[in-house]
Amino acid sequence: MKTMTAAEIRNTWLSFFESKRHRIEASASLVPQNDPTLLWINAGVAPLKKYFDGTETPPNPRLVNVQKCIRTNDIEHVGKTARHHTFFEMLGNFSIGDYFKKEAIQWGFELLTDPKWFGFPQDKLYMTYYPDDEEARQHWLDCGVDPTHVIPRSDNYWEIGPGPCGPDTEIYFDRGEAHDTRGIELLEQDIENDRYIEIWNIVFSQFNAKPGLTRDQYPELPNQNIDTGAGLERFACVIQGTETNFETDLFFPIIKHTEALSGVPYEGQMAYKVIADHVKALVFAISDGAILSNEGRGYVLRRLLRRAVKYGRQLNLNEPFLYRLVDDVVDTMGVFYQNLHETKDIVAKLILKEEEKFLETINEGEKHLMEAIAKEGDTVSGQTAFKLYDTYGFPIELTLEYAEELGVKVDEHAFQQALEEQKKRSRSARSVKGGMKTQEEAYLKFKTSSLFIGYETLQAEAKVIKVFPEGIILDQTPFYAASGGQVADEGTINGLTVTDVIKLPNGQHLHVVEGDLTEGDEVLAIVDAKKRQRTIRNHSAAHLFHQAIKDIMGKHTNQQGSQVAPKAWRFDFNHYETEGDQTILEVERLVKHHIHDEPLDVNIRHMSLDDARQYGALALFGEKYGDVVRVVDMGWSKELCGGTHVDNTRQIIDFAITSYESIGSGIYRMEGVTGPDLKADMTTYLEPIDNERQLLEDKITRLSPKADLPKAPVVTGSYQDIINGRQHLSLLKDIIRQLEKEINLQKQHDVLKRLDDFITDPANKRQLVITHDIDGRILKQLMDALYDKIKAEVIFIANVNDDKVTFLCKSALGNADVLIKKAAGLTDGSGGGKPHMAQGGTSHKDKLEAALKAIEELL
């Protein structure tokens, strides 16, 4: 058997199947594209589903890939076992209606045993198969495999409900008795062990599972497919002869650097393995555009980072360290995954920022957890666990892990109860929608249909079909209910103002009305056309903006929240770093281009979710979509969306970005305006800048009445106005700094020119000097000048301002601090310093005279 690096294993796999006329598919992003059903790409076949389910024709019926994957369902096992990982690479070969069982098995045997390829010893390989799949067994025997190495096992069948399914065959490598003295019964009885390592699974997608039928009754599929998966980490462990996957070249460079940072020798500790695994997952996921947050995949990443930090503390790594390992991940994996080099700097920054935040949390949480364990004994109460989570941000997973290490339990049931109670309190606190929750059962039971006709018309005659305490339901309505980021329509029903429109669980629109209507009333519903028009302009602009940031900042940018209203649009998105002004202007210019220079028709299309994905429409993770979806198609931009839009982007009229800010770790927000009144709207957004400008100009005038004020920038209707405004403020501040510098220099000159005015007796080497309204910096210079002029032993200055007195003392006798403390004490002030230089002050001017008499006596 050849000794190979992980890179050589990848290349051998791809080269072999390429020689068998397979097309090499590049690894897809870990963040699923246009598939809201997946949290992560978790298998080699996942990004190829579109070929297997027939929604898209593959470029070649034979495909091969090395796919990066993340699975976190077994996170607690990572580091405890030799082979569990969150991030891993899946080697796969696939046939979509082309070759089947015979070729899959023959080629598998050739790749594994031929010295030209991997060259595994044939006697070390064992195969399991489904007992009824005699064909698969025979193909293995035809390859020359010892019959005692081909083992039937009833669990060798791939099936996940109705649909394609079939038997599979698994290939194992025997690492020998050193890893377990037990023999073939480990495979026959499917006993977990470290001797026989599964390295490859080949699935024969052969049958169509149907409810009510047994497996031997399933009909065969018209097209039979091959789907295989081999873990690169396991291959590397076997080929490189390491004890676990973590000693292979896929992990060990990371472990060695961690060892160097910690000073604790690596002897197989779980902490090292957790850190190496989790930091790889973090680097790859963030590089692919995932963000650290408190929900969805962002929460998974945050949990991985926090778990790694927590295990780092076992290795005396009490300061941020994960960010230091980013280069090791890139050095180890970057030859095959080139994009890691492009993103490594920002990935390291994001990880460092998150580490620093969490270390603050963990220090506080640990302290309170230990105090709780000392008080509560062998079980941490649910209330304590919830307080740690809610008050200190200490994750329940960490509480559970700490408890396990310390041999105590956590009342998880009580924790979940406390968490649910908090959610209920939060829901009940929401104004109208909070009140709605108390009606939830009534809403769920109300199933009479109500038709939304607001895409076609803004006015309709309708009938009140239901009255709830919070509002009314009409049999048909032109009013859009708040959803998908678009705010609800405003308007009237029979002259009564509609203040909100809320979508109920069964799809009806609840109209919140200022006034009373009764069931059966015939009404006239009128949407405020001007506000709707402004809203649809902003909504269509938000779609253009989304596509623009993808084109300019990168495909990884995805919507993380939005609001489109009559006055403005707001869009939250993930990104690696804060962009400069020129990038923001570039985004703005691209959107303006598709409004003014190359306007786009906006078409609404209805299709299946699978067809929409195939069509290239963006689907947002976490959104719930039905069997038929609505696609807003602008050609350049395609999104699944139920909102209202313009017919052509020229109807947006104009577009400007008004603000750009970071609102969290890796999350940014932009806001903007559209329409014919854009310049006037920009003036509103410039008000804070204008207010500050007025204050600065007033200050300049006070400092120098004859100063020339630079003209304020002209509003053009662009983000450039914001940039110009900021630059103008900076210019005014520079002018103020220069004027203040000149004024202070003049004051200093004037004060120092009058030194003799401050000296009552030049022969007295111990002077008490009283001054008025002298700047603190000039006061220090005055004291030094006086001290030098009379070659003083002690200079004590009391500078009187409107609201306070400042004491300053310089002494060759070493009593400056004594004198300052004396003056401060007599005036209820404060002060201190060194024997030769000290200062203090007081706001009690009424006690100054007595204090100065006392100082004079001491002098």
- Residue 12 tokens read as 């051998």
Task: Give me the mean pLDDT over the 510-533 stretch.
Answer: 96
The candidate with the shortest Cα–Cα distance to 20, out of 222, 228, 199, 198, is: 228
SS3 per residue for 477-535: ECCCCEECCECCCCEEECCEEEEEEEECCCCCEEEEECCCCCCCCEEEEEECHHHHHHH
Residue for token pair 């941000």:
393
For the cut 50, the answer to whether the pLDDT of residue 774 exceeds it is yes
Residue 727 has pLDDT above 70, yes or no: yes
Helix (H) or strand (E) holding 577: none
Q: What is the pLDDT of residue 761?
A: 84
Closest CA to 322 of 259, 277, 279, 361: 279
Give the CATH number of domain 6-26+41-244: 3.30.930.10
| Beta-carbon contacts of residue 495 (< 8 Å; ≥ 6 apart) | none
- Give the pLDDT of residue 433: 41
* Tens-digit pLDDT profile for residues 476-488: 999 999 998 999 9
- What does the pLDDT average to over 185-198? 92
Which of 342 and 643 is assigned the larger pLDDT? 643
- The pairing of strands 794-800 and 766-772 is parallel
Asked if 64 contacts 107 with a C-beta cutoff of 8 angstroms, the reply is no
pLDDT band at 468 (very low <50, low <70, confident <90, very high): very high
Segments making up each domain of the chain, as ranges: 6-26+41-244, 252-362, 434-527, 532-684, 686-750, 755-858
CATH for 434-527? 2.40.30.130
pLDDT value at residue 294: 77
pLDDT, mean of residues 427-441: 47
If DSSP codes are grouped into helix, strand and coil, which group holds residue 78?
coil
> Where does the pLDDT of residue 624 fall: very low under 50, low under 70, confident under 90, or very high at 90 and above?
low
pLDDT value at residue 439: 56
Q: Which of 286-290, 506-510, 595-599 bottoms out in mean pLDDT, i.e. has the lowest?
A: 286-290
Show the beta-strand stretches assigned E in 579-725: 603-608, 628-633, 638-640, 655-664, 667-674
pLDDT for 577? 82
Q: How confident is the model at residue 623 (pLDDT cuts 50, 70, 90)?
A: low
C-alpha Rg value of the chain to the nearest Å: 37
The pLDDT confidence band at residue 435, using thresholds 50, 70 and 90, is very low
H, E, C per residue of 786-805: HHHHCCCCEEEEEEECCCCE
Average pLDDT score over residue span 514-533: 96
Average pLDDT over residues 55-79: 89
pLDDT at position 359 is 87
At a CB cut-off of 8 Å and minimum separation 6, what does 669 contact? 570, 571, 572, 573, 659, 660, 661, 662, 663
Kindly give, in sequence order, each residue whose CB lies less than 8 Å from that of residue 541, ignoring residues fewer than 6 positions away. Answer: 569, 591, 595, 652, 655, 672, 674
Which pLDDT value is given to residue 377?
82
Tell me the two tokens of residue 122. Answer: 């044939």
- Residues 333-384 pLDDT 10s: 999 998 899 889 889 998 999 999 888 887 888 888 888 888 888 888 988 9
Mind listing the pLDDT tens digit for each residue in 673-710? 999 999 999 999 999 999 999 999 999 999 999 889 99
**Torsional class of 231: left (φ above 0), alpha (ψ -120 to 50), beta (otherwise):** beta
Residue 429's pLDDT is what? 44
**For residue 621, what pLDDT band results from cuts at 50, 70 and 90?**
low
Element at 461 (helix H, strand E):
strand 459-468
C-alpha 493/C-alpha 512 separation (Å) is: 10
DSSP H helices, 208-295, are 232-240, 252-262, 270-287
Question: Residue 63 is inside which H or E element, if any?
Answer: strand 62-70
User: Where do runs of H (alpha helix) occur along 55-154?
Assistant: 101-113, 134-142
Task: Spell out the residues 6+ positions from residue 276 whose beta carbon is closer than 8 angstroms to its own.
Answer: 246, 251, 254, 255, 258
For 532-684, which CATH class?
A: alpha beta
Whether residue 427 is predicted with pLDDT greater than 60 in this model: the reply is no
Mean pLDDT estimate for the chain: 91
Task: Band the pLDDT of 560: cuts 50, 70, 90.
Answer: confident
**What average pLDDT score do residues 504-515 get?**
93
CATH number of the structural domain 755-858: 3.10.310.40
The larger pLDDT score, comparing residue 345 to residue 533, is at 533
What's the pLDDT at 55?
Answer: 64
The whole-number pLDDT of residue 425 equals 62
Answer for the pair 436, 501: CB distance below 8 angstroms, yes or no: no
Tell which wins on pLDDT, 296 or 199.
199
* Residues 649 and 634: beta-carbon distance below 8 Å: yes
Judged against a pLDDT cut of 80, whether residue 465 lies above it is answered with yes
**What pLDDT score does 436 carry?**
41
Identify which has the larger pLDDT, 171 or 622: 171
Q: What is the mean pLDDT of residues 130-139?
A: 96
CB-CB neighbours of 796 under 10 Å: 27
| Highest averaged pLDDT of the listed ranges 137-151, 397-411, 654-668 | 137-151
Residue 558 token pair: 């995805």
Q: What is the pLDDT of residue 627?
A: 78
> Is a pLDDT exceeding 90 seen at residue 432?
no
Pairing outcome for strands 157-158 and 220-231: unpaired
301: amino acid identity, one letter: L
